[in-house]
Amino acid sequence: MNGQLHVAYALELPKHPSEVQRAFNIAPEAGFALSIKNPEAGAPPGAGLSEEEKPEYPEKLQEEFRDRRFELEDLRMLDYPGAEFILGARVDPERAYHLQLPKEEEDYAHADIVGELRMATSRHPVKPLFEGRWQ
């Protein structure tokens, strides 16, 4: 359809990555290329879904794999239950994708994420999110 999907991010909070980000190996900036797994392709032992859990794509969509293990372009495949995908990481998305990631100076009182998640600060301990530490 439109080529491979790329997702990139830049952390705004916490201002300086700390123990939580290191524990989960979250880089201050990263990008990912998404690839959808062909349900007819094999998987390593103990990995992947059972036959009952695999997606059942219409023949026309299944043909887009062209006997490859992954499809890069048709994101409609993600609309099917059991669709599997992998994310290939890029550590420097600005250079890899030739873009400038917008970063805002955020603080606890004005952070968009608090509103987007509809977190009542009186009921949810969100301060650790801004400090990058375990609660």
Q: Residue 126, Cβ neighbours under 10 Å: how many?
A: 18
pTM greater than the 0.75 cutoff: no
**Beta carbons of 36 and 70 less than 8 angstroms apart:** yes
* CA atoms within a 13 Å half-sphere pointing along the CA-CB vector of 15: 5
pLDDT of 13 > 90? The answer is no
Name the phi and psi angles at 121, rounded to 5: -65, -20
Q: What is the pLDDT of residue 123?
A: 76
- Peptide bond before residue 44 is cis, with ω within 30 degrees of 0: no
- The span from the CA of 70 to the CA of 117, in Å, is 33
Going by pLDDT thresholds of 50, 70 and 90, the confidence category of residue 80 is: very high
- The span from the CA of 27 to the CA of 100, in Å, is 16
Q: Across the strands, what pairs with 94? A: none
Output the CA–CA distances (angstroms, integers) from residue 76 to 22, 54, 79, in the order listed: 34, 15, 6
Going by pLDDT thresholds of 50, 70 and 90, the confidence category of residue 40 is: very high
Average per-residue pLDDT for the chain: 80
Extended beta strands in the chain, E state = 5-10, 29-37, 70-71, 85-90
